């Protein structure tokens, strides 16, 4: 049984709406309750036919966030509040039964996890993964199913002979291509990809990224594309969200974000990118990412921020729209507060 589908959205209409989502790891540690606030009050929208990128350093909560969106979170990672709504479901994804979720996965929503071996069964030939995941959704007779799988592989420039291979017989890049073929064979409306090319060398990475773009254009699906690699975002994504310590701190169309970053953390991420001919030393961000079981009060970035003001230590900035389609959570970017406002930092005065 499927989660009841609603009408298909037109290009530009939202496919995913996440509203004030909080998801915490809730554990007992030597008898004491401990909460890691990995996803803390995130709201965002992904439209039809767009690639939305999510960036941020390691441990900023990217994987926890997308696991929660896909309802692939398991205890101790629990949804504390907020909602996750897809256009092809008539209710919050967390309100679906396990049966309805199974009917939604692969057909409407695919999740390409970090490391293809999570999906491919290591002791069975690749063809069995296609049969297990795709045949319940495609409702084709055996011969037709085989034909459809081979045609899909060919469209993605893969030889049908990979179906007879065991995962360990393929290179890392080839395995990731097979995983993407598996994730797209049912033409899902929404694809979530978590660091899909991080483990691959640069040349192979380029091929796999090209393949994802090609198939997205062809199918018109939406992709939530997660990587810490800003150079990949610059080449792949239409819009980009920056996560820091469990929160979304900036969001804009990718070109606008690179041309006009408003959050000090985003500026740091962009300035750290290597540029041809630039041999100047890159300044590392001082300090370490905060402990998410006891995050700093106010703006979570304030202990590392060169622009921190008094207000930043007391209050958490809201994500506010400061330019068309450009949201940022930073007092220094707000015209009412700084850096020309009354609470300007000593360094910027």
Ligand X SMILES: Nc1ncnc2c1ncn2[C@@H]1O[C@H](COP(=O)(O)OP(=O)(O)O)[C@@H](O)[C@H]1O
The entry of ligand SF4, Mg ion, ligand X, none that residue 332 binds, CB within 5 to 8 Å by partner kind: ligand SF4
Q: How far is the CB of 237 from ligand SF4 (least distance, A)?
A: 22
**Least separation, in Å, of the C-beta of 159 and ligand SF4?**
50
CA–chain centroid gap for 66, Å, is: 6
Task: Report which DSSP code applies to 68.
Answer: H
Looking at 307, 319, 326, 327, which residue binds ligand SF4 (CB under 6 A)?
307
Question: Which residue in 38, 180, 312, 319 binds ligand SF4 (CB under 6 A)?
Answer: 312
Q: How many CB atoms lie within 10 A of CB 133?
A: 18
Part in contact with ligand SF4 (CB under 6 A); list of ranges 42-50, 83-91, 277-285, 299-307: 299-307
Query: Which one among 67, 302, 326, 327 touches ligand SF4, defined by CB under 6 A?
Result: 302
* Residue 27: its H or E element: strand 14-29
Q: How far does CA 279 lie from the centroid of its chain?
A: 31
- Min separation Cβ 226 and Mg ion, Å: 7
* Cβ-proximal residues to 159 (8 Å cutoff; 6+ apart), any chain: 153
> CA nearest 52: which of 208, 247, 219, 257?
257
- Neighbour tally for 234: CB within 10 Å: 16
- The phi and psi torsions of 160 (rounded to 5 degrees) equal -60, -20
Summarize as ranges the residues that interact with Mg ion (CB under 5 A). Answer: 62-63
Q: How many residues bind ligand SF4 (CB under 6 A)?
A: 14
Host H or E run for residue 273 = none
- Write out the residues near ligand X by the rule CB under 6 A: 25, 36, 38, 56, 58-64, 76, 292
| Degrees, nearest 5: CA angle 196-173-197 | 20
Cβ-based nearer residue to ligand X, 21 or 333? 21
Residue 28's H or E segment, with its range, is strand 14-29
d(CA 263, CA 277): 26
- Residue 317 binds to ligand SF4 (criterion: CB under 6 A): yes
Q: Which is nearer to Mg ion, 72 or 344 (CB)?
A: 72
Which x/- pattern over 224-263 shows residues binding ligand SF4 (rule: CB under 6 A)? ---------------------------------------x
Q: Which residues pair with 27 in a beta bridge?
A: 34
The pair of three-digit structure tokens given for residue 110, joined into one six-digit string = 């695919």
| Residue 63 beta carbon to Mg ion: minimum distance, rounded to whole angstroms | 3
Which lies closer to ligand SF4 via its Cβ, residue 46 or residue 307?
307
CB 68, min distance to Mg ion, A: 13
Footprint of ligand SF4 on this chain (CB under 6 A)? 263-264, 299, 301-302, 305, 307-309, 312, 317, 330-332
């Amino acid at each position: 049984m499927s989660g009841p589908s609603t009408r298909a959205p037109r290009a530009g209409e939202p496919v995913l709406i996440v509203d004030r989502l909080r998801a915490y790891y809730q554990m007992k540690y030597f008898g004491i309750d401990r909460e890691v606030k990995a996803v803390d009050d995130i709201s965002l929208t992904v439209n039809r036919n767009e690639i939305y990128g999510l960036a941020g350093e390691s441990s900023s909560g990217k994987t926890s966030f997308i696991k929660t969106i896909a309802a692939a979170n398991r205890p101790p990672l629990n949804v504390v509040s907020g909602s996750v709504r897809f256009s092809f479901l008539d209710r919050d994804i967390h309100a679906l039964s396990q049966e309805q979720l199974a009917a939604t996965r692969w057909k409407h929503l695919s999740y390409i996890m970090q490391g293809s071996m999570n999906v491919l069964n290591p002791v069975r030939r690749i063809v069995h993964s296609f049969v297990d995941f795709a045949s319940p959704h495609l409702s084709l007779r055996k011969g037709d199913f085989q034909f459809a799988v081979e045609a899909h592989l060919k469209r993605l420039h893969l030889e049908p002979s990979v179906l007879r291979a065991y995962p360990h017989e393929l290179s890392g890049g080839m395995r990731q291509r097979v995983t993407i073929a598996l994730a797209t064979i049912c033409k899902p409306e929404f694809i979530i990809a978590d660091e899909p090319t991080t483990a691959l060398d640069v040349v192979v990475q380029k091929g796999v990224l090209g393949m994802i773009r090609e198939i997205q254009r062809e199918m018109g699906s939406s992709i939530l594309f997660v990587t810490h690699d800003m150079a990949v975002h610059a080449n792949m994504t239409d819009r980009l969200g920056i996560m820091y310590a469990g929160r979304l701190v900036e969001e804009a169309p990718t070109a606008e974000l690179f041309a006009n970053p408003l959050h000090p953390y985003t500026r740091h991420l962009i300035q750290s990118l290597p540029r041809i001919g630039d041999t100047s030393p890159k300044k590392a961000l001082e300090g370490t990412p905060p402990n998410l079981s006891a995050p700093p009060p106010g703006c979570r970035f304030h202990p590392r921020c060169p622009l921190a003001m008094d207000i930043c230590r007391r209050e958490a900035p809201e994500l506010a729209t400061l330019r068309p389609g450009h949201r940022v959570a930073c007092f220094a970017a707000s015209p009412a507060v700084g850096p020309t406002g009354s609470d300007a930092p000593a360094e910027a005065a």
